[in-house]
Amino acid sequence: MRWNKYKHALKVFLAVSLVSGAVQADVIVEENITYGRGGDAELKLDIARPEGDGPFPAIVFIHGGGWYQGTRQGYRGQIVEAARRGYVAATISYRLMKFDEAKKETTTATPNFPAQIHDAKASIRWLRANADKYDVDPERIGVTGGSAGGHLSLLVGLTDASSDLEGDGGNPAQSSRVQAVVNVFGPTDMAECYETSSVAWIFRLFMGGTPDETGETYKAASPITYASADDPPILTLHGDRDALVPIAQATTLDERMKSSGARHTLMIFEGQGHGFGGEHAIKSAGAMWSFFDQHLKPKSSAK
């Protein structure tokens, strides 16, 4: 699947995920908030929250785009919908790779891994540091994203402060741990994905080389490296005809998570590629909201 087809499929998924029938409330939206620093750059997010008395559970949305494109604005509709459903929700920007696309097969890119996961973790720490201001329950935070955003969401969920992936983006006294993850067709074994993906060049740029050249980086960037029994519950949504991130990435994660005693649910969408359309998009969006309600909302308020 070409990237323009992926973008269209993702737009369909995002659109149908806004179909509501859940909690309705007035929503407060604030944009262009600085949540940390990445290198010399300020890191920005947009946040939406319900009016009324909190604290509310929270969800952080991480956009995809191969770690080199995409914007946080693509999830703006979803954070508003999340707020209507009773969540504080943020969509974040993070540092993206820059390179000469005309020379993508031979060039290098900066910043590459681990800058992006450093930024994602900084957003979780910022949310906890500002929990009182934004009516966030710091013990009920989830994260989600698609493709590259799914990969970063998994790393946020599966790694802790001892993994050397925390970074120095701000609020070091706060934890970046989350309580639930929804991974939408994110890579899980970076070396295997390099070998099987139709866009192997992206993985080479992101990892700074091939698996033979930078094997330890591939391992450090692979969510399957960190599976353990104390991981938060994870839902993975994946199409069985995905050429960019093959379905084996999801089944390998499922096997590794379950063998380690971790909680993992895998939903496979037959006939779907790197993005979902039609009834599959509706089903996947419903599964995401139900999963977050189950794991982030108090039992008396989950709907």
Q: What percent of the chain has pLDDT over 90?
A: 85
Q: Write the Ramachandran bin of 8: left for phi over 0, alpha for psi from -120 to 50, otherwise beta.
A: alpha
Rounded to the nearest integer, the mean pLDDT of the chain is 92
Q: Considering the domain 3-296 in this protein, what is its CATH number?
A: 3.40.50.1820
**What are the residue boundaries of the structural domains of the chain, listed by start?**
3-296
Q: Note the pLDDT of residue 3.
A: 43
The 3-class SS string of the chain reads CCHHHHHHHHHHHHHHCCCCCCCCCCEEEEEEEEEEEECCEEEEEEEEEECCCCCEEEEEEECCCCCCCCCHHHHHHHHHHHHHCCCEEEEECCCCCECCHHHCCCCCCECCCCHHHHHHHHHHHHHHHCCCCCCEEEEEEEEEEECHHHHHHHHHHHCCHHHCCCCCCCCCCCCCCCCEEEEECCCCCHHHHHHHCCCHHHHHHHHCCCCCCCHHHHHHCCHHHHCCCCCCCEEEEEECCCCCCCCHHHHHHHHHHHHCCCCEEEEEECCCECECCHHHHHHHHHHHHHHHHHHHCCCCCCC
What average pLDDT does the segment 269-288 reach? 94
The pLDDT of residue 298 is 84
Of the pLDDT bands very low, low, confident and very high (cuts 50, 70, 90), residue 2 is very low
pLDDT reported for residue 20:
44
pLDDT at 188: 99
Reported pTM: 0.92
Contact (CB, 8 A) for 64 and 147? yes
Section 48-59 average pLDDT: 96
The whole-number average pLDDT for the span 12-25 is 47
Q: What is the pLDDT of residue 105?
A: 87
* Sheet of strand 234-239: strand arrangement: 27-38, 41-50, 88-92, 56-62, 136-146, 180-184, 234-239, 264-269
Q: What is the pLDDT of residue 218?
A: 98
Q: What is the pLDDT of residues 191-250, one digit of tens each?
A: 999 999 999 999 999 999 999 999 999 999 999 999 999 999 999 999 999 999 999 999
Q: How confident is the model at residue 101 (pLDDT cuts 50, 70, 90)?
A: confident
pLDDT(115) > 70: yes
The pLDDT assigned to 4 comes to: 47
pLDDT at 13 over 90: no
- Gap between the Cα atoms of 6 and 2, Å rounded: 6
Residue 151 has pLDDT above 60, yes or no: yes
What's the pLDDT score for residue 300? 65
Average pLDDT over residues 174-178: 98
